[in-house]
Amino acid sequence: MNADRGASQSILIVDDDPANLEVLSNFLEMAGYEVLIARDGESAIFRAQYDPPDLICLDVMMPGIDGFETCRRLKSQPLTADIPVIFMTALSETVDQVKGLSLGAVDYIPKPFYEEVVLSRIQLHLKLRSLARELSEQNEQLEQLVAQRTTQLNQTIDRLQATQTQLLLRERQLEYEAFHDTLTGLPNRLWLMNHLESLLTKGDRYNEFGFALLFLDLDRFKVINDSLGHLTGDALLGHVAQRLANILDDTSSIARLGGDEFVVLIEGCCNQDTVLQAVRRIQAQFSQAFRLANNYEVFTNTSIGIVLSTGEYNTCEAVLRDADVAMYQAKQNGRGRYAIFNPQMRNRARVRLDLENELRRAVGNGSFAELTAGREFGLYYQPLVCLKTGQVKGFEALLRWHHPQRGIISPAQFVPISEEIGLIHTLGGWVFREACQQLATWYQQFPHQRDLTMNVNLSTIQLMQPQLIELIQETLDEVRLPNECIKLEITESCLLETNKNVFAILRKIEDLGLLLCIDDFGTGYSSLSRLHEFPVRTLKIDKSFVRRLQNGDNGNEIVKTIVTLAHSLDMDTVAEGIETSIQLELVRAMGCEFAQGYLFARPLPADEAVNFLVTPDVFYPQVNLDTDCKDFVQPPPSTR
């Protein structure tokens, strides 16, 4: 509502009949409304954008563009999209009313007009719009208040943690034993913090004094501990400490922080080349097996985070924090790597920590009921289209996190974190159950489409879950789905696992009647010589190869090769990431059976994805590579 109208509300009447305009104008003005008039759709659109009214009464049958087209254009413009539109018509057919409502109209007023009916409906929808605005404002205020309180709470927690650390340091200074690690005999964290403090003080006095701190974390140590036992793990830590101590000179110190974390401190050095020489010596030690009791050999690598200081640090906590951040960056780059700290790493680490805490909160106690009730996690469904018939033959279920403050978070951000902190089994189990339940619901709604399939992604960590097979069978029995309607998508990295259990689990999945697909095929490092050994039915061609079609490089040949390989192994193929009709025609000409991508639809919530089942023949080809590949034509929406 414009400021110069005071408390009055404006209504735009659009009608080519002067008599109708006069009737409506008279009793609306008598009711206290400001009345605006347009005699055709084009004028209405122009006036609504120039001076947006509070509500539009729109005639259906008009010369030029009719009311339906006028409504569609109004709803497509940001300035007019949320203005309530009420159609005025003498048409009484249900199909016309459904069409109008599907275009965004909120109501119908029948002709001839009855003053009480017109006023009551206008008042209702103006009131609803006012309430919606009030609710939106209240939500914004509440979000601001929550953010403010959260900031205050975090500041309080930070202060408490800092106070607790200072008290702990003072207590441990009372005894000599507090400065040493009982397992390895190395100096411990307290010693390191004190020593770092002295180095920082020395750096304040002598500007050219510098040091380097190397933060070491053993790769896959938890696997060794869990599989070989804690005694073997402790023995390995002792051997690591001995090797590190043997290769360091008098300018270097080593400490064990705890667990499988070690720190190497090189004093009087700020030269990167010198530091990297020490790093290479450390890595060389880890290239050799550690021989433990009874000549048992264990191999492990270490990830190293490096901080180079020339006097810019004020606290030892800051040094250790940044080295820890760099170490995690090295782990993300791959096992046995190193990374030198830069300030951007700290920002990424803080964002990741916040996301981890929020993920734990969102998952809660891990029950399926709580995940469903929390409504933060939801499944979106992307259709898979048969290129021979043009019909939707299945969907891929894709997890989304509806964060209350951040909005929708991609699984690429939170799934790796859930794998690291042990929440992937809970989330993965919930995804499988929800996807199966949705497919069962669609089977009930559309009994003639019981050949519809559902693709569910499965990570390597989920694949190693001991209760996986039991969970799959219990879920399918609960929702009463035939097993063959579910397709599990795994990555190429699963094929690299030398663990015999992986192959056995895949065979058990096949025995249950479920189908297996390899997702993003061509981007990993799977051994083609072993591909035929696995019970895989489908190869999904990665979208990076599809994007390279038409580029004149080897993208076409790669896709052809994958399709040929799949067919030779009696597998079918799915082209991922189809965005243009030319890409579609090319993969179809190469013999690809199925496709998915934004050309057909983005991942959609279930209430929108169901439209592909109401009208299964959603896409049909009118494409010819020889005539510039005209776009696919989409049939008009079904009125059923």
* Three-state secondary-structure class, residue 429: helix
pLDDT tens sequence across 25-69: 988 999 889 999 999 989 989 999 988 999 999 998 888 899 899
Asked if 335 and 411 sit in the same domain, the reply is no
- Per-residue confidence (pLDDT) for residue 353, from 0 to 100: 84
187-201, 251-265, 354-368, 374-388: which has the minimum mean pLDDT?
Answer: 354-368
> How confident is the model at residue 633, as a pLDDT?
34
Which amino acid is located at 412 in the chain? A
Report how far apart the first and last C-alpha atoms of the chain are (Å, whole number): 38
Chain-centre distance for alpha carbon 590: 32
Sign of CA dihedral 416, 420, 422, 425: positive
Flag whether pLDDT at 297 surpasses 90.
Answer: no
**Average pLDDT for the chain:** 84
Tokens of 341: 């700290």
Contact (CB, 8 A) for 426 and 402: no
Q: Is residue 308 part of a domain?
A: yes
Within a domain: 326: yes
Claim to verify: residue 621 and residue 569 sit in the same structural domain:
yes
| pLDDT value, residue 223 | 64
Q: Is the pLDDT of residue 618 over 60?
A: no
Residue 360, domain member (yes or no): no
DSSP assignments along 386-422, one per residue: ETTT--EEEEEEEEEEEETTTEEE-HHHHHHHHHHTT
Give a yes or no: residue 149 inside a domain: no
State the Cα–Cα distance between residues 170 and 452, nearest whole angstrom: 67
| Cα–Cα distance measured from residue 22 to residue 67, given in angstroms and rounded to the nearest whole number | 19
pLDDT tens track for 459-507: 877 887 878 899 999 999 999 999 999 999 988 767 655 445 677 888 8
Give the pLDDT of residue 493.
67
Are 247 and 129 found together in one domain? no
Question: Which of these three, 285, 316, 341, is where a domain ends?
Answer: 341
Yes or no: say if 324 and 305 are a contact pair by the CB < 8 Å rule: yes
Biggest CA pair distance of the chain = 103
Residues 515 and 579 in one domain: yes
Structure tokens at 53: 């009214």
Domain boundary residue, one of 341, 369, 388: 341
Domain co-membership, 465 together with 532 = yes
502-509 contacts at long range (C-beta below 8 A, 24 or more positions apart): 502/460, 502/463, 502/464, 503/533, 503/534, 505/463, 505/464, 505/468, 505/469, 506/463, 506/534, 506/535, 507/535, 508/469, 509/469, 509/472, 509/535
Domain assignment present for residue 404? The answer is: yes
Q: Are 517 and 490 in contact (CB under 8 A)?
A: yes
- pLDDT exceeds 80 at position 529: no
Please check whether residue 74 lies inside any domain of the structure.
yes
Contact criterion met (CB below 8 Å) for 88 and 107: no
Question: What percentage of the chain reaches a pLDDT higher than 90?
Answer: 35
Mean pLDDT value across residues 350-367? 82
Give the containing element (helix H, strand E) for 384: strand 377-386
Put residue 539 in one of left, alpha, beta given phi > 0 → left and psi -120 to 50 → alpha. beta
pLDDT value at position 532? 77
- Regarding whether 582 and 453 lie in a shared domain, the answer is yes
Q: Is residue 155 part of a domain?
A: no
The predicted pLDDT at position 134 comes to 87
Q: Is the pLDDT reported for residue 250 higher than 50?
A: yes
* Beta bridge mates, 575: 541, 595
Give the pLDDT band (50/70/90) at residue 526. Answer: low
3-state SS class at 383: strand
Amino acid at 245: A
Claim to verify: residue 485 and residue 584 sit in the same structural domain = yes
Q: How far apart are the C-alpha atoms of 57 and 24, rounded to whole Å? A: 10
Q: Is 327 exposed, middle or buried (0-12, 13-18, 19+ CB in 10 A)?
A: buried
The CA–CA distances, whole Å, from 470 to 81, 106, 308, 461, 509 equal 50, 49, 51, 16, 10
Rounded mean pLDDT, 269-283? 86
Examine the pLDDT at 604 and tell me if it is beyond 90: yes
Q: How far apart are the C-alpha atoms of 281 and 464, rounded to whole Å?
A: 35
Q: What is the pLDDT of residue 370?
A: 67
Please answer whether residues 190 and 178 qualify as being in contact, where contact means their C-beta atoms are separated by less than 8 angstroms.
yes
Q: Within this chain, do residues 401 and 526 fall inside the same structural domain, yes or no? A: yes
Q: What is the pLDDT of residues 443-458, one digit of tens each?
A: 999 998 889 999 999 9
In angstroms, rounded to a whole number, what is the distance separating the alpha carbons of residues 597 and 586? 14
Average pLDDT over residues 584-600: 93
Report the distance separating Cα 409 and Cα 396, nearest Å: 18
Q: What number is the average pLDDT over the span 409-430?
A: 87
Angle, CA 140 vertex, CA 134 and CA 146 arms, to 5° = 135
Long-range CB contacts (within 8 A, 24+) of 125-134: 125/55, 125/84, 125/86, 126/9, 126/54, 126/55, 126/84, 128/84, 129/54, 129/55, 129/82, 129/84
Residues with Cβ within 8 Å of 192's Cβ and at least 6 positions away in sequence, in order, are: 253, 255, 257, 263, 265, 316, 320
What's the CATH number where 250 sits? 3.30.70.270
Question: What is the three-state SS of 204-231?
Answer: HHCCCCCEEEEEEEECCHHHHHHHHCHH
Do 119 and 210 lie in one domain? The reply is no
Residues with Cβ within 8 Å of residue 490, at least 6 apart in sequence:
458, 459, 460, 463, 506, 516, 517, 518, 519
Residue 605 has a pLDDT of 94
The residue among 325, 341, 357 that closes a domain is 341
Residue 497: both structure tokens together: 């696992």
| pLDDT computed for residue 597 by the predictor | 94
Same domain, 328 and 420: no
Per-residue pLDDT reduced to its tens digit, 310-347 = 677 889 999 999 999 999 888 878 778 999 998 888 78
Spatial CB neighbours of 152, under 8 Å, sequence gap ≥ 6: none
pLDDT digits (tens, 9 = 90+) for 121-155: 899 999 988 888 889 889 988 989 888 888 888 88
For residue 59, the domain's CATH number is 3.40.50.2300
Query: What's the confidence (pLDDT) of residue 487?
Result: 95
Structural domain contains residue 99 = yes
Per-residue HEC secondary structure of 351-378 comes to HHHHHHHHHHHHHCCCCHHHHHHHCCEE
Contact 303, 219 (CB under 8 A): yes
Exposed/middle/buried for residue 289 (C-beta within 10 Å: 0-12, 13-18, 19+):
exposed
Cα dihedral sign for 602, 608, 611, 616?
Answer: positive
Residue 369, pLDDT > 90, answer no
**What pLDDT is attached to residue 632?**
37
Per-residue pLDDT tens digits for 534-581: 888 999 999 988 988 877 667 788 899 899 999 999 999 999 999 999
Q: What is the 3-state secondary structure (H, E, C) of 286-307?
A: HCCCEECHHHCEECCCEEEEEE
> Does 559 lie in the same domain as 413?
yes
Number of continuous H segments (helices) and E segments (strands) in the chain: 24, 21
pLDDT at position 56 is 93
Q: What is the mean pLDDT of residues 344-359?
A: 84
Query: Whose CA is closest to 353, among 149, 156, 158?
Result: 158
| CA-closest candidate to residue 305, choices 328, 332, 285 | 328
Rounded-to-10 torsion of CA 118, 120, 121, 126: 120
Contact 217, 302 (CB under 8 A): yes
Residues 213 and 264: beta-carbon distance below 8 Å: yes
CA–CA dist 557, 543 (Å, integer):
14
Q: Residue 486 and residue 516: Cα distance in Å, rounded?
A: 9
Q: pLDDT at position 527, please?
A: 54
207 to 203, 270, 311, 319: CA distances (angstroms): 6, 12, 7, 17
Provide the β-strand partners of residue 304. 216, 338
Are residues 311 and 431 located together in one domain of the fold? no
pLDDT score, position 300: 85
- The CATH number assigned to the domain holding 577 equals 3.20.20.450
Range of 603's domain? 380-627
What is the tally of structural domains in the chain?
A: 3
